[in-house]
């Protein structure tokens, strides 16, 4: 991007126009350039990506979209969600205090570790490389170094290169042993697509590091902010508990043992406050920027001339903090903001991007974030340790490649059981996922068509 003409776009209507011009204003050429650099793929792999592109006609290799079918609502996504929910449930259960006592945890670090395990277990299956603590640790150290890997030569980004090698070695072993065949449809389909395009085993392992960034880098931070906003806002906490209670059924067996059963499939239709709270938390804490490269001289909206070779930058934060879009209370957390948001353009919510670059993993990550939130909300009371109450951590050290603000400090919290936890066990299930969480403008349109 250095030396390129930069077009900065803050208008929701102009962003929508750009997204419609996906053949001449494209992300894929940028993705090819930087993914090879970030992931440490070979020049041969980069050349395969470039040669497969027909830039003049706006045709890009299917490898970029290989992950979409397995992440769309259906059987493949259901399988991933069920594995993730089981893993999250075990993690939540692991902090259950004894009756009358409490458990202290570092909320940021605890969530990051357990979200990492739940996510990767769902994607990579029983031979998940992230079960090795060294691999998990290497990933989060590598994630910190991504800006250096993007902008600096390898010898000045040696720390990132070193941790990246740990990850590539682990994934190479994973693919070489055919462990991906026991993984999700996502990892199997992506590997098959790479293989069909002629990538080497080592390059497939390198690009899998990029896939790990996509599934992990922002989810744990998003979960933290959701938990933070819900538990620090008594009204939101009360509303969500009342709402989630409507999809909990309780039964008692012959021995008098009570079972509370929560079906996540019912969240879409029964929990508008919960989903509104999620979108509001993401509105306030999303900082990503959508990028496009101008492939041909283009006149946009009969007004703006975009010259070939330029780069379009659409920062999320400028739209999410625009008073003309959201109102004078734009800086405030309003957990019901998205329930009655008819006056706000659906395209104004950009936490998952938009258009052809809309995050394909949004359904999985949304389910995971809401699952962690509902389990914590229904089973526990959480409060910060020490005086001062809930104080948001600073975010100055957030990685510039991140989409969600990353907390600079951990928050020590005290976890205690709610009364309903001590009178029985909790069971979580997902019967089907055809119902789409309307988290992006495109999803809202899809939901109307399905209904």
Residue 62 CB contacts under 8 Å (≥ 6 apart), including other chains: 193
- Binding site annotation covers 359? yes
Helix (H, G, I), strand (E, B) or coil at 329: coil
Name the DSSP letter for residue 59: B
In terms of Cα–Cα distance, which of 69, 166, 76, 83 is closest to 118?
Answer: 83
**Tokens, residue 237:** 């906490």
3-state SS track over the chain: CCCCCEEECCCHHHHHHHHHCCCCEECHHHHHHHHHHHHCCCHHHHHHHHHCCEHHHCECCHHHHCCHHHHCCCHHHHHHHHHHHHHHHHHHHHCCCCCCCCEEEEHHHHHHHHHHHHHHHHHHHHHCHHHCHHHHHHHHHHHHCHHHHHHCCHHHCHHHHHHHHHHHHHHHHHHHCCHHHHCCHHHHHHHHHHHHCCCCHHHHHHHHHHHHHHHHCCHHHHHHHHHHHHHHCHHHHHHHHHHHHCCEEEEECCCCCEEEEEEHHHHHHHCHHHHHHHHHHHHHHECCEEEEEECCCEEECCCEEECCCCEEEEEHHHHHCCHHHHCCCCCCCCCCCCCCCCCCCHHHCCCCCCHHHCCCCHHHHHHHHHHHHHHHHHHEEEEECCCCCCCCCCCCCCCCCCCECCCCCCCEEEEEECCCCCCCEEEEECCCCCCCCCCCHHHHHHHHHHC
Residue 304 CB contacts under 8 Å (≥ 6 apart), including other chains: 7, 14
CA 271/CA 240 separation, integer angstroms:
8
Q: Which residues are annotated as a binding site for heme?
A: 359
Q: Which residues are annotated as a binding site?
A: 359
């Amino acid at each position: 991007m250095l030396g390129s003409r930069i077009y900065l776009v803050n208008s929701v209507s102009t962003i929508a126009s750009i997204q419609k011009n996906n053949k001449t204003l494209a992300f894929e050429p940028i993705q090819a350039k930087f993914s090879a650099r970030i992931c440490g793929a070979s020049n041969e792999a980069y050349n395969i990506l470039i040669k497969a592109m027909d830039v003049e006609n706006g045709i890009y290799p299917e490898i970029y979209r290989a992950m979409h079918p397995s992440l769309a609502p259906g059987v493949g996504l259901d399988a991933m969600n069920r594995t993730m929910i089981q893993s999250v449930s075990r993690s939540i259960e692991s902090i259950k205090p004894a009756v009358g006592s409490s458990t202290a945890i570092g909320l940021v670090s605890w969530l990051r570790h357990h979200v990492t395990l739940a996510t990767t277990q769902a994607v990579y299956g029983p031979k998940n490389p992230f079960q090795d603590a060294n691999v998990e640790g290497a990933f989060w150290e590598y994630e910190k170094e991504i800006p250096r890997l993007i902008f600096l030569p390898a010898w000045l980004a040696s720390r990132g290169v070193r941790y990246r090698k740990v990850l590539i070695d682990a994934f190479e072993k994973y693919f070489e042993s055919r462990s991906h065949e026991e993984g999700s449809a996502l990892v199997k389909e992506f590997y098959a697509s790479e293989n069909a395009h002629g990538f080497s085993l080592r390059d497939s392992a390198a690009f899998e590091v990029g896939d790990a960034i996509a599934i992990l880098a922002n989810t744990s931070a998003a979960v933290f902010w959701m938990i933070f906003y819900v538990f620090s806002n008594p009204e939101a906490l009360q509303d969500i508990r009342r709402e989630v209670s409507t999809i909990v059924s309780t039964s008692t067996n012959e021995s008098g043992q009570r079972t509370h059963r929560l079906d996540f499939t019912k969240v879409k239709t029964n929990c508008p406050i919960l989903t509104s709270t999620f979108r509001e938390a993401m509105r306030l804490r999303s900082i990503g920027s959508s990028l496009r490269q101008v492939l041909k001289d283009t006149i946009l909206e009969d007004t703006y001339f975009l010259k070939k070779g330029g780069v379009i930058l659409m920062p999320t934060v400028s739209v999410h903090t625009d008073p003309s879009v959201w109102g004078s209370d734009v800086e405030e957390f309003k957990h019901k903001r998205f329930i009655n948001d008819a006056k706000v353009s659906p395209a104004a919510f950009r936490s998952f991007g938009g258009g052809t670059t809309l995050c394909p993993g949004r359904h999985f990550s949304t389910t995971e974030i809401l699952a962690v939130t509902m389990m914590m909300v229904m089973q526990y009371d959480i409060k910060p340790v020490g005086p001062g109450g809930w104080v948001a951590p600073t975010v100055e050290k957030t990685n510039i490649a991140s989409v969600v603000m990353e907390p600079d400090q951990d928050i020590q919290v005290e976890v205690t059981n709610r009364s309903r936890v001590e009178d029985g066990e909790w069971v979580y299930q997902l019967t089907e996922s055809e119902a789409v969480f309307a988290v992006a403008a495109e999803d809202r349109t899809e939901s109307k068509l399905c209904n």
